[in-house]
Amino acid sequence: MAKRKGLELGAVSISIGPMQLTKRTFLKTTGLASVGVGLGGLTTASAAPIKRKGKSRLNLSLAAYSFRDYFKTATHQQNRPSKAKSITMHDFIDYCADQGLAGAELTSYYLDQAINKADLLKLKRHAFLRGVAISGTAVGNTFTHGKGAKRDAQVAHVKKWVDNAAVMGAPHVRVFAGNANGLSLAEAQRNCIEVLEEVGEYAGRRGVFLGIENHGGIVAEADSLLKIVEATKSRWVGINLDTGNFHTDDVYGDIERCVPYAVNVQLKVEIRPRGAKQKSPADIARLVGILRKGNYQGFVALEYEAAANPWTAVPQWLAKLKEAVNG
């Protein structure tokens, strides 16, 4: 067991382990110092990057969202070509197995929103018998609401899917932050941190990680995302790193900054830096190199969003990804 160290700031003493809180200085300047129970007069409260032993290990998965227009059940409008085949989540698991993948990410949008424990266990059994790990699931949510009914509804929704993930044996739930919606950035960040801590504590009791995705809104850029994650007092909260969602001057640099906090990676086949008129193909080998440099260990789920038919394009991109990972 790692030796524990005591950290003192002012009148407050905090005991920390290798994956618990360290104390830095950003809250003083961002207006987030009031976040968290027991902070008192502290000006800092940041979580250290994840310390992983050994070498980088990249386990390939596929996000069900890649086939978003083809599921028989969906929470959003679909654009399925006429006479195109439709699939169930069991079919998707079979597809992942047939593609030789280690995992399958079962996006919640394509499951019955009132799915019961028996049906979740059927998915777990099916995946196990096909030799595929359920690498996680993903929900749509907003965590920037102030206290009240709207926040409570979002918390309940995510907790429900944490429970569902635990039943399926999925170790990770992707969550969003949300937009400021008239709040200052600091206020929206503070609300998000409060909710992440509440739901993160709940998820930890179920053995499930929450990964907050760089998905526009208040986490469109790495600085704000990192501030939120570092301020959140939970060992069960990290980043769901989407490689296609930074539209900044230095996309690859921002991805690299976030890798030490990543608990899941969704790899996109395109990027769009700031000022670019259109998307361009991602450098898969470079992305894999960045993940290895950051000693990331865990699932890398291809999340295909490009224009070409996924039934044709996904196997091609999986082949490129396998070559980069195994080369």
In this structure, how many other beta carbons lie within 10 angstroms of the beta carbon of residue 269?
24
**According to the model, what pLDDT value does residue 29 have?**
41
CATH number of residue 269's parent domain: 3.20.20.150
Q: 40 and 64: one domain?
A: no
pLDDT tens string 84-119: 999 999 999 999 999 999 999 999 999 999 999 999
Q: 255 and 132: one domain?
A: yes
**According to the model, what pLDDT value does residue 280 have?**
97
Q: Are 118 and 85 in contact (CB under 8 A)?
A: no
Q: 44 and 71: one domain?
A: no
**According to the model, what pLDDT value does residue 33 have?**
43
Mean pLDDT, all residues of the chain: 90
Which segments of 283-325 are extended strands (E)?
297-302
Provide the 3-class DSSP secondary structure of residue 162. Answer: helix
Q: 136 and 15: one domain?
A: no
Total domain count, the chain? 2
**According to the model, what pLDDT value does residue 48 have?**
67
**What pTM was estimated for this model as a whole?**
0.86
Q: 60 and 37: one domain?
A: no
Report the alpha-carbon distance of residue 250 to residue 188 in Å, rounded.
25
Burial class (CB in 10 A: 0-12, 13-18, 19+), 129: exposed
Q: 276 and 292: one domain?
A: yes
Q: 36 and 121: one domain?
A: no
pLDDT tens string 259-301: 999 999 999 999 999 999 999 999 999 999 999 999 999 999 9
Q: For the chain, which residues score pLDDT lower than 70? A: 1-48
**According to the model, what pLDDT value does residue 327 have?**
84
Per the structure, the complete domain to which residue 170 belongs is given by 49-326
Q: 157 and 209: one domain?
A: yes
